[in-house]
Chain A
Amino acid sequence: MSDIIAFSPVLLAAITGLIVMVLDLLSGKNTHKGFLGWVTAVGLLASGTAACLLWVGGREISLPFMVGMVQFDTYGAFFVTLIAIAGAASSLLIVDHNPEQGIHDGATYPLVAFATFGAMLFVVATDMILLFLGLEIMSLALYVLAASKQTSPFSMEAGVKYFLLGALASGFFLFGAAFLYGATGSLDFVTVGRTIQDAAAHGSGLSKVALVMIIAALGFKIAAVPFHFWTPDVYEGSPTPISAFMAGVVKAAGFAVLARMMLTIWGTAEFSSGWQSPGGILLILAVISMVVGNIMGIVQDNVKRILAYSSISHAGYILLGVYAIGLGEPGAVGISLNSGVPFYLLTYVLATVGAFGVLALMGGQGHEDMSLDSIAGLGKRSPILALILTISVLSLAGIPPLLGFMGKFVLFKQVLLADPDRNWVWVVVAVLNSLVALYYYLRIVLYVYFREPEGEAAPIIKSNAGLFAVSTMAVLVLLLGVFPGKAIDASNQASHHAVLSITEAQAAPAVQQESAPTPEPKQPLRLRQVDGLKVDPSHIPIIRRAMELKLRDSGPKPK
Chain B
Amino acid sequence: MAEQIVFYILATGVLLGALAVVVPPFARNPLHAAVALLTTFSLMAGLFVMLSAHLLAILQIVVYAGAVMILFVFAIMLLNLRKQDFSPAKITAWKILGAAAAFLIATRIAMVAGAAVSTHTAVDLSLEQYSTFGSVHDVGIALATKYLLPFEITAILLLVAVIGALVVTRRQGGLR
Which residues in A have some Cβ–Cβ distance to B below 8 Å? Answer: 14, 17, 21, 29-30, 64-66, 69-70, 102-105, 107-108, 110-111, 114, 117-118, 121, 127, 129-130, 133, 136-137, 140-141, 143-144, 147-148, 150-151, 159, 179, 182-183, 202-203, 205-206, 208-209, 555-556
Q: Which residues of B contact A141 (CB under 8 A)?
A: 160, 163-164
> Judging by beta carbons under 8 Å apart, are B167 and A206 in contact?
no
Max chain A CB contacts within 10 Å: which of B119, B149, B159, B176? Answer: B149
Q: Which residues of B contact A65 (CB under 8 A)?
A: 145-149
Contact of A14 among B113, B148, B156 (CB under 8 A): B156
Q: Is B175 an interface residue (CB 8 A)?
A: yes
B163 to chain A, nearest CB (A): 6
Contact of A136 among B116, B157, B175 (CB under 8 A): B157
> Judging by beta carbons under 8 Å apart, are A64 and B145 in contact?
yes
> Judging by beta carbons under 8 Å apart, are B119 and A202 in contact?
yes
Q: Is B80 an interface residue (CB 8 A)?
A: no
Q: Which residues of A contact B159 (CB under 8 A)?
A: 17, 114
B2 to chain A, nearest CB (A): 25
Chain B contacts with A in 71-120, Cβ cutoff 8 A: 108-109, 111-113, 115-116, 119
> Judging by beta carbons under 8 Å apart, are A104 and B174 in contact?
yes
> Judging by beta carbons under 8 Å apart, are B150 and A206 in contact?
no
> Judging by beta carbons under 8 Å apart, are B153 and A130 in contact?
yes
> Judging by beta carbons under 8 Å apart, are A130 and B150 in contact?
yes
Q: Which residues of A contact B175 (CB under 8 A)?
A: 105, 107
Contact of B112 among A107, A121, A150, A209 (CB under 8 A): A209
Assuming the contacts A65-B145, A65-B146, A205-B112, asked whether A110 and B172 have C-beta atoms less than 8 A apart, the reply is no
> Judging by beta carbons under 8 Å apart, are A150 and B108 in contact?
no
A191 to chain B, nearest CB (A): 14
Assembly CA distance A451 to B150 (angstroms): 54
Q: Which residues of A contact B156 (CB under 8 A)?
A: 14, 17, 114, 117, 137
Q: Which residues of B contact A556 (CB under 8 A)?
A: 145
Chain B, 3-27, contact with A by CB distance < 8 Å: what is the 0/1 string?
0000000000000000000000000
Assembly CA distance A118 to B148 (angstroms): 17
Assembly CA distance A159 to B77 (angstroms): 21
Q: Which residues of A contact B108 (CB under 8 A)?
A: 209
Assuming the contacts A111-B160, A114-B160, A205-B116, asked whether A151 and B149 have C-beta atoms less than 8 A apart, the reply is no
Q: Which residues of A contact B176 (CB under 8 A)?
A: 29-30, 105
CB pairs A–B below 8 angstroms (23 shown): A21-B163, A29-B176, A64-B146, A102-B174, A103-B174, A104-B173, A105-B170, A105-B174, A107-B167, A107-B175, A114-B160, A130-B149, A130-B150, A133-B153, A133-B154, A140-B160, A140-B161, A144-B164, A150-B170, A205-B112, A205-B116, A206-B116, A555-B145
Assembly CA distance A66 to B163 (angstroms): 28
> Judging by beta carbons under 8 Å apart, are B116 and A147 in contact?
no
Q: Is B166 an interface residue (CB 8 A)?
A: yes
A137 to chain B, nearest CB (A): 5
**Chain B: interface residue count, which band?**
20 to 34
Assembly CA distance A114 to B167 (angstroms): 14
Chain B, 112-132, contact with A by CB distance < 8 Å: what is the 0/1 string?
110110010000000000000
> Judging by beta carbons under 8 Å apart, are B157 and A133 in contact?
yes
- Name the residue of chain B whose CB is nearest to the CB of A7: B149
B95 to chain A, nearest CB (A): 15
Q: How many A-B pairs fall under 8 Å by CB?
A: 101
Q: Is B168 an interface residue (CB 8 A)?
A: yes
Assuming the contacts A102-B173, A114-B160, A140-B160, asked whether A69 and B149 have C-beta atoms less than 8 A apart, the reply is yes
Q: Which residues of A contact B112 (CB under 8 A)?
A: 205-206, 208-209
- Name the residue of chain B whose CB is nearest to the CB of A30: B176
Assembly CA distance A226 to B112 (angstroms): 24
Max chain A CB contacts within 10 Å: which of B164, B170, B172, B175? Answer: B164
Q: Which 8 A-B pairs have the closest CB atoms?
A: A205-B112, A29-B176, A144-B164, A65-B148, A104-B174, A105-B174, A129-B150, A206-B116
> Judging by beta carbons under 8 Å apart, are A137 and B148 in contact?
no
B48 to chain A, nearest CB (A): 15
- Name the residue of chain B whose CB is nearest to the CB of A131: B150
Assembly CA distance A111 to B149 (angstroms): 21
> Judging by beta carbons under 8 Å apart, are B147 and A209 in contact?
no
Contact of B147 among A104, A110, A114, A129 (CB under 8 A): A129
Assembly CA distance A64 to B153 (angstroms): 16
Instruction: Knowing that A114-B160, A137-B156 touch, tell me 5 more A-B residue pairs with CB under 8 angstroms.
Output: A102-B174, A107-B166, A140-B161, A202-B119, A205-B111
Assuming the contacts A141-B160, A183-B116, asked whether A133 and B145 have C-beta atoms less than 8 A apart, the reply is no
Q: Which residues of B contact A555 (CB under 8 A)?
A: 145
B15 to chain A, nearest CB (A): 16
> Judging by beta carbons under 8 Å apart, are B160 and A108 in contact?
no
> Judging by beta carbons under 8 Å apart, are B149 and A70 in contact?
yes
A414 to chain B, nearest CB (A): 34
